[in-house]
A and B are shown apart, each in its own frame.
Chain A
Amino acid sequence: MSVTDSTTATLAATEGPGGRPATAALRPKAASRPPRRGLVRSLLRNRKAMLGASLLVVFVALALLAPVLAPGDPTLITSGGSQPPSSAHLWGTTAKGQDVLALTLWGARSSLFVGFLVGVAATIVGVTVGLAAGYFGRLTDDVLSLATNVFLLMPGLPLLVILAAFLPPGTGTVIVVLVITGWAGAARVLRSMALSIRAKDFVAAATVTGERAGWIMFREILPNMASIVMSTFLGCVIFGIGSQAGLEFLGLGDVSVVSWGTNLYWASNDGALMVGAWWAFLPSGLCIALVAFALALLNYAVDEVTNPRLRAPRRTRGDRRSVGAGTAVAANVTSEETIDPSATPVLEVRDLTVEYRGENRTVIGADRISFTIGEGEVFGLAGESGCGKSTVANTIMRLLREPAVIAGGSVRFCGRDVLAMPDEELRAYRWRDVAMVFQSAMSSLNPVMTVGDQIVDIYTTHLRLSRREARRRAGDLLELVKIDRSRLRSYPHQLSGGMRQRVVIAMAVALRPRLLIMDEPTTALDVVVQQEIMAQIADLRRELGFAVLFITHDMSLMIELSDRMGVMYGGRLVEQAPAAQVLADPQHPYTRALMNAFPPLTGPRTELTGLAEGVRFTDIDNLVEVAPGHWVAPVAAGSAAPTSEESSA
């Protein structure tokens, strides 16, 4: 029994010579690059990050080189006080005759040192407390969270002032005080992050492997929070530099130390503002602002890189125009046009090509897809994740968003060009002509509105019915899916998952569409409920007579429900035939692999071999008719082997 199985691996490498970009992108090949190095690389490409980092580097370099660059000793008190910038003193002198440039450069040392040290220490304390609270939970979490919240709620500045006043003055004291007041914010953010990572399976898996708590916290959970830790650290540094300046400005630090804060303190003490000696305080103030700005830029860039949704989408206005021009591209009509079973199909998709244009590469989501759906017909589209079946459905509904671009082909609904519809027509087309039920549709109900109100809304906005009439129709609609009218007053959370899905289906057919698209409508439900839902749809179809485009990876379900079906792989159709024909005589090796993916419930137990890991079909040709109504993509001789042969167990 094991012999057949172990051969699957050796058969795996049948990659064709010309790998299609679609399959290559959807199933990434092994090319080792750690995700964290990706973060650094993305940061290097980010303009905000580069600007922030260069500013910081300049400041750090200036601080390090202060002994070389500074014109003389900053603490040297001379007789020439309060001189404006001149050739002798480029940035002028303070009231005591100290050189401002020297003060600023030397001040950078203390300010940056304290800032980074506070950042490091507050982050370490925050990370430890946050991780421990998030990982251990229960009592540990209660105690640590309480402490965190107490420190967060205590007004920071008064605490700083009190602590600084009681502790002996000095740089060390400033750092201790700032860490005590600064760690709580970090701890709170990191705790909630740790809590969510704690719930992931890899933490449970590490526990089962036998890892200890410390290892799991710092080696499994912490690396996953790298970006948050980094931005927390940057935030703490900003806090450190700012608060140190504030404390010292108030005279609570060691005023004999040269830092930007003490510079400001002395400038204020000497009445620089009153005498208009702007050069005494401007450089230090500006430096604090610039460093904070640089850190904030870096912080923002980290957020942006780790959360792609914040990134501004690339403008591809020119591409969007091609939606309307789709018909022009569809010149290379294939031989599949003769598939039409009836004269006027409800839906006619022809040579539809959709591309996802990423920053670096273009991925083909759907590649020259053609099929038709007749009046009242159930057409199934089968395939696995990433094969493009949902892309096709979303195109039909005109729901594609950037970076998806329709690169060619046409979609016609009852003869009307869907891709060229203006917005107004599109509004009526969606829902009234074609309705769609998504996989996660159960959660698409508004949780704060009753089910009744949500259905009533459909009738009042689309059909302009009175509320009373709409309410009556809503009740009828619920009864159509075998839910009691009284449930109109229920909120979605009061219904079971199966019931919610039935409500969604009822809403989809509320306006009597001619086509219902169902994208994996039962994947989230278990078999018994799935079967109920399917019964419901069969009932509704009998009553209302709409056509169905049914999308799933479950071939058994599809064959039972569909009249005709297509099988998709890597954006291409590989087979199209009546469902009974697919069951009796599946032709393409991929279709056979899908069929054999579900072992039978009856008959002898035979060993099946699914599609071996890594088997790829590339350069899939146009479909060829092998029997009346049965279209199959020709298979190259080599790639037929690694699929589904049956052998007895």
Chain B
Amino acid sequence: MSDTMSTQAVVEIRGLVKDFTVGGFGSRNHVRALGGVDLDVRSGEIVALVGESGSGKSTIARCVARLEHPTAGTIHVGGVDVLRREPRRASRAYRSKVQMVFQDPFGSLNPVHRVEHFLTRALQLHGKAGGNGRSASLHARLEELMATVDLDPALLDSYPHELSGGQRQRVAIARALAVEPEVILADEPTSMLDVSVRIGILNLMRRLRDERGIALLFITHDLASARYVADRTVVMFAGEVVESGESTALMADPAHPYTRLLLSAVPDPRRAGTFDPVERAALRAEVLGATSCPFEAEGICRTDVPVWHRLGPDRAVRCHVYRPQRDVARRALDVAAATTTTEIEDQPA
């Protein structure tokens, strides 16, 4: 929208914790999916949330979409503490601000309805149908939505099974757009699509940001896609955010050992240096293995939770390696960007 809003956080997540109960009836065993996550999504920005499967990326989106109830922490949307104001169920007003696009376009569109149904419902529920909610003005809105996502309006009469995966995902995006949200949570929107149409979806996301100022939380395990669309990238590992920063800078110069590992695992023939899987496997062992981390020998990660270290504007990492007094260790990981390291207490990602 306007530049004045661009620095304001649309979604502000603080200390988000989510425990899942495992086991059967009356079980008290918990698995911690999110261990206190801080995350901001600002207006008109795409934030990529990357990490391996099981790192808690989707859980964050599902908490913000109010499909899961977080165990602890706060979520502010537009400055309002939503968990306090609507503790049980999200209001329709909240839904009109926050929308979600799911991973599987084959599963997220009900097979018994036509494309028109999905869009019409979204428009009607949020009073965006125009006029009395039917007739010409509604149809004009539908066609406009279809045009926005580059779909032929003739497809309005189709059923989901008649569309390709890419077309379905565009319908899902159009449904999210129909309510004119401030933020869209996109949970791996391209991972189930044929590779040749993925770029089209990524480009659509970029366009929504540029033309409509919509903020996007883009969840992906594909670092290349994150780099391609996202202004900022946030790296998650085992339910916690370990690094965040401007996407190209972060990928060019990853600070956290885990980010380095993730990046090294991405096959990219265009990258300098040829594929040596054995070498990369060694790197993984080095980073994650018990002897790799210069602090692990002291067991510091187990006793001390690492704090945030600011590496530059918009750039932060959470790792003991960056403790100022441990210059030796920092050199061990050969991180050049750490020259201006300062320790701060609670740097939001």
Contact = CB atoms under 8 A, between A and B. Distances in A.
Chain A complexes with chain B = yes
A605 interface: yes
A330 interface: no
A202 B109 contact: yes
B109 A594 contact: no
B63 interface: no
Contact of B268 (A536, A596, A600, A610): A600
Contact of B267 (A34, A557, A612): A557
B221 to A, nearest CB: 5
A32 B163 CA distance: 11
Contact of A527 (B104, B195, B262, B271): B262
Contact of B195 (A5, A33, A594, A601): A594
Given A2-B207, A601-B268, A30 B122 contact: no
Contacts of B228: 599, 605, 608
Contacts of B32: none
A208 B99 contact: yes
A1 B114 contact: no
B197 A600 contact: no
Contact of B110 (A220, A560, A600, A605): A220
Interface in B126-173: 126, 150-152, 154-155, 157-159, 161-167, 170, 172
Given A613-B166, A613-B167, A583 B269 contact: yes
Contacts of A553: 194-195
B111 A532 contact: no
Interface in A585-610: 590, 593-594, 596-603, 605, 607-610
A378 to B, nearest CB: 12
- Which has the most chain A C-beta neighbours within 10 Å: B52, B53, B65, B197? B197
Contacts of B65: 204, 208
Contact of A223 (B112, B172, B277): B112
B314 to A, nearest CB: 16
Interface string A14-33: 00000000000001111111
Interface string B266-281: 1111111011011011
A527 B52 contact: yes
B170 to A, nearest CB: 8
Contact of B157 (A32, A220, A535): A32
B67 A556 contact: no
Contact of B104 (A30, A201, A529): A201
A6 B199 contact: no
B323 to A, nearest CB: 26
A9 interface: yes
B161 A207 contact: no
A314 to B, nearest CB: 23
Contacts of A529: 52
Contact of A556 (B107, B152, B154, B267): B267
A556 B268 CA distance: 5
B200 interface: yes
A209 B125 contact: yes
Nearest to B201: A610
Contacts of A535: 277-278, 280-281
Size category of the binding interface on chain A: 35 or more
B100 interface: yes
A561 interface: yes
Given A1-B206, A553-B195, A557-B267, A201 B102 contact: yes
A204 B159 contact: no
A554 B248 CA distance: 22
A383 to B, nearest CB: 9
B67 A208 contact: yes
Contacts of B104: 201
A510 interface: no
B110 A209 contact: no
A420 interface: no
A590 B197 CA distance: 11
Interface in B244-273: 248, 251-252, 261-272
Contacts of A201: 102-104, 107-108
A57 interface: no
Contacts of A538: 277-278
A33 B162 CA distance: 9
A605 B248 contact: yes
Nearest to B204: A5
B179 to A, nearest CB: 7
B91 to A, nearest CB: 9
Interface string A168-207: 0000000000000000000000000000000011101111
Contact of B266 (A220, A385, A527): A527
Q: Of A535, A555, A561, which is in contact with the most chain B CB atoms at under 10 Å from its CB? A: A535
A161 interface: no
Interface in A33-59: 33-36
Contacts of A36: 112
A554 B157 contact: no
Nearest to A579: B269
Given A9-B152, A528-B262, A600 B270 contact: yes
Contacts of A490: none
A559 B108 contact: no
B2 interface: no
B100 A601 contact: no
B267 A560 contact: yes
Nearest to A533: B277
A9 B151 contact: yes
Contact of B224 (A6, A206, A601): A601
Contact of A30 (B121, B162, B263): B162
A307 to B, nearest CB: 16
Contact of A224 (B112, B204, B221): B112
B74 interface: no
Nearest to B198: A597
A1 B46 CA distance: 15
Nearest to A598: B224
Contact of B92 (A210, A223, A531, A600): A210
Contacts of A385: 165, 194
A28 B262 contact: no
A454 interface: no
Contacts of A597: 195-196, 198-199
B330 interface: no
A539 interface: yes
A198 to B, nearest CB: 12
B197 A613 contact: yes
Nearest to B208: A2
Interface string A442-473: 00000000000000000000000000000000
B156 to A, nearest CB: 10
> Which of A531, A556, A561 neighbours the largest number of chain B CB atoms within 10 Å of its CB?
A531
A224 B110 contact: yes
Q: Which of A5, A205, A605, A610 has the most CB of B within 10 A?
A: A205
B284 interface: yes
Interface of A: 1-2, 4-6, 8-9, 27-36, 200-202, 204-211, 220, 223-224, 226, 384-385, 526-532, 534-536, 538-539, 553-557, 559-561, 583, 590, 593-594, 596-603, 605, 607-614
Given A206-B110, A385-B165, 8 more contacts: A28-B162, A202-B107, A204-B102, A560-B267, A560-B275, A590-B196, A610-B198, A614-B164
Interface of B: 52-53, 62, 65, 67, 92, 95-96, 98-100, 102-104, 107-112, 114, 118, 121-122, 125-126, 150-152, 154-155, 157-159, 161-167, 170, 172, 175, 179, 194-200, 202-204, 206-207, 210-211, 221-225, 227-228, 248, 251-252, 261-272, 274-275, 277-278, 280-281, 284
29 contacts: A2-B203, A2-B210, A30-B163, A32-B162, A34-B114, A202-B108, A205-B108, A209-B118, A210-B95, A210-B96, A210-B125, A210-B179, A211-B125, A223-B110, A531-B267, A531-B281, A532-B281, A535-B281, A553-B194, A553-B195, A583-B269, A583-B270, A598-B195, A601-B251, A601-B271, A608-B228, A609-B199, A611-B200, A613-B170
| Leading 6 A-B pairs by shortest Cβ distance | A610-B199, A535-B277, A611-B196, A599-B228, A560-B275, A597-B195
